[in-house]
Structures are given as C-alpha cells and as structure tokens.
Structure 1
Amino acid sequence: MRAYRQFASVYDRLMEDMPYPQWLAFARQCWERYGMPTSVADIGCGTGAIAIPLARSGFEVYGIDLSADMLSIARSKWEDGSSSQLRSQPGSLMLLQQDMREWELPQQVDSVISFCDCINYLTEEEDVEAMLAATCHALKDGGVFIFDVHPPSQLERYAQEQPFVLDDRDVAYIWTCELDEQRCEIEHRLSIFAREGSGQDALFQRIEETHTQRAYDPVWLSGALLRAGFSKVELFADFALQAPGEESERLFFVAVKAPQA
C-alpha cells in the first residue's frame, strides 16, 4: 500500500468531475432499504469529498485513509466550514490514518462505505480478505457495508483505450496503462503538470505517479464477504439498484453483517 504524497496537492483539481453526488445518493438509497445509520465509517476517504458532506448533514463520520497528506487536506476543508452555514445539522468527523487491511475504531458503527474503487488497490486476495474481516469487526450487528469496485472488464477497457490526456489551463496529465491479463492487474502511470503561482511568475510542477489496481471476480468477492461474517450480499451496478451487465463500469456490493446468535 502507498500514500499519495505529492498527488494529494492536486487530487481535488483532478477529481472535481467525479460523481460524488451519485455515490452519496446511492448510499442513501441503500440506507433507506436497510435502516438509516447514525454513525458511518468512510474507508479510503481521501480529501473528504464524501465524508465531509455526510458529517455536515448530521452523521457521526470516521474517515480512514493511509495518506497523511490526504487527511491533512480533508481536515483543513472540514475546519474551514466548521463555523459556516454549510453544516445544516450537528454532525462530527474524526479522521484517522490507518491501513484499510487492519483498520479499527474506538466503537462499532452502523455502516461502512468505501467508494471510488478503493478496494481495487488491494492487489492480493489475502489483503482483500483482511480488509473485509476488519470491516465486519467494525460494524454493529445488522450493519451494512457498501462499496464499489471496477470489474475485470473495466480494467481491460482502460488498457484498450489508453493513453488518456488532459490539458487544462492549470493542470494537465498524460495517463498510460499496462495490463497484466493473467492477474487482471493494471498499472496506471501518470505524469501530472500542475500550475503553481499566477501571472508571469507561474510555474508548472511535474508530479510522477504510479498506481496499481487489481480486479476480482465478483463471485469470489461475494464469497469472501460471506466468509468474513456477512450474512446477505447484493450486487448492483453503476450507481443504481440494478443488476450488472457486460458493459457495467462499476460494481456496487451491499453486504449486511450477520447478527450474533
């Protein structure tokens, strides 16, 4: 596992078009089916794009991430809005630097979420199983775990469609991919150019990043959830409570922790 280091400084600029409202809406759809939580843990929370809106709307939120730099940005964003009208209800946010494979909280929570294909960054089956076991342990009985992953077909599309290029005024990148078909593991290589300063004094900072993801058979993932202690597992796709198809870009798992006998 790796922290994002320099990438954290430009993360929000690169991710501003990501469908964060859709992730939030999907989570609420699931909670309406299984019970609205009071406490929520967001695994791989990054700079808080999902954790902060949840906390501002009244939830008790724990944000977990491996990157101290990402968490520092999230903390600044939360504190900047702490005295403003952005917080419609009294919620809370606790940010913790932890590895998702062995994360823990001071108390169990009603729900856990992990969006933006965080689990794809676990590139060994035993790491995924460790993360699922830690998550089950952190949930109250009957609690719900909601997460998304890229299926194998999406990694194949990345490899076929690369390279990807962005050329905006303040930030640009060249993104290439290499797929290991046998492991269904892809290496993303990014050369990012971010403007620092303004006017004639502006310079571009070059940031080199390499990120590796692995896609897992959804049947295997469902089985791993059951082995970890979840009693019910549902599979949906692309931000809707609908069955996945061959063209699905994101698979959404919804798993309920088995109550103690």
Structure 2
Amino acid sequence: MNIQHRQWASLGLMAGLSCYLVLASANPAAAMHIAEGFLPVQWAVLWWIVSLPFLVVGVQSLARITSTYPELKLLLALVSAFTFVLSALKIPSVTGSCSHPTGTGLGAILFGPSVMTVLGGLVLLFQAVLLAHGGLTTLGANMFSMAIVGPFAAYFVYRLLLRTGRTRVAIFCASALANLLTYVTTSVQLALAFPAVSGGFTASFLKFAGIFAVTQIPLAITEGLLTVLVWNWLQSYAKQDLETLKLLRQES
C-alpha cells in the first residue's frame, strides 16, 4: 500500500470513529436545526417547495460527476463525513441553547453548491432520524438554510476572493460565511413563522439571531480555520483528485 492509500485509509478510519462517537452518544439536540413539528404546516410545506428544485439539480450534478469521474467517490464520501461530523457537534451557547458548525463550505468549494445540496440534505436526513437533530417535517427548512444558502454563499465568496490569488484566505472566508449565513437564514425562517407581537418580523429576527450570535461568530471562525487545515491536507495527499476537480470545473 503506497503512502497516499495509507493516508486515505487513516482518514477514513478517523471519520468512521468520529461518526461512531457521535452516534453512540446521541441525545435529542437543542441545536439550531429547527425541531420536528416546530414550524406551522404552511411554512414547513413552503420550505420543502423552495428546496426541491435545488435538490433535483443537485442530484443531476452528483450523478454526472460520479458517472464521469468515479475516482472522486472517495472524496465525496470524505466531504459528506466532514459535514456530518461537524454539524452533529453541539456547542453550548451562552443563552443555554446550543450552536454547531455546518461543514458545508469544503464540499461547496470542491464540488460546487448543487452537489452539497444533496450531500447536506442526506446529512440532515440521517441526523433527524438517528440523532434527533431537526426533523422530517422541517427538513425542507433546514435544508434550505444549511444545504442551499450556506453552500451557495461559500461557493460564490470563494470564487470571488480567489481572484486575489490568496486561496487559503478565500477558503477561510467562504467556510466561515457559510456557517454564519446558515444561522442568519434560520433566524429569518423562524421570524417569518413567529413574528413578535410587538415589533413584528424585525423584533423576532433580532431575538432569534441574538440567541446564537455570541457563540456562532467564534464558531464560524474556528470552522474556517479547520477547513483550511483540511485543504492543506488535500493539497499534500490528494493532488490527483484536486487536478481532476479542476478538469471538472473547466468542463462545466
């Protein structure tokens, strides 16, 4: 077994152990995933309708990539595991609730936001079923915030800042902003569904966003730094896959 294969095997083992630890200690979460049954029916249905077109396009993109470049399947699995493990971590908030990383920035940078809509949606589905993070009726809303807004924001910020020639800065900013915008979007969703009696949508949004802001800002910075570290690892041990991704982007 050559060095690259040993590195992939060790990373796969670490990802598997991380998933096991998360699953083995699963408890109902008070994280920012909107809980099962929390949204009124009309809002739950609306976010499903909004998210489904993105999901369909994502499935088509994922099918094209895996059929044309089957050698990228392992990297896709790595990106999925990265998102699953990070977004399953619960970080206590100063308000008594919880925040968590999202992990969607890396996949959006590597494969594009449409693919991450599918992978992020699958992560949210497994978390809802296995970990009680979020729910099935609120899956559309959670998918829109974490698997659509976050990845699309990460991708466009990365492409914009990449023009400066500072790749790692672009990756850091893209991942951190994807994290923050996920929470901003969820706060908007909750404010729309539950406007305050006094102050309406604005007052409600400030309340929901303020609950997590103190914890989420440093958490977003940490996620950005972690994503840069993973990128450095890929630069060292997965150069061939990164070259294939460059070819894929040129064909798109």
**Superposed pair shares fold, TM > 0.5:** no
TM-score by length of 2: 0.29
TM-score by length of 1: 0.28
Structure of higher RCO (CA pairs closer than 8 Å, 6+ residues apart):
2
Structure (1/2) with the larger strand percentage: 1
Structure (1/2) with the larger helix percentage: 2
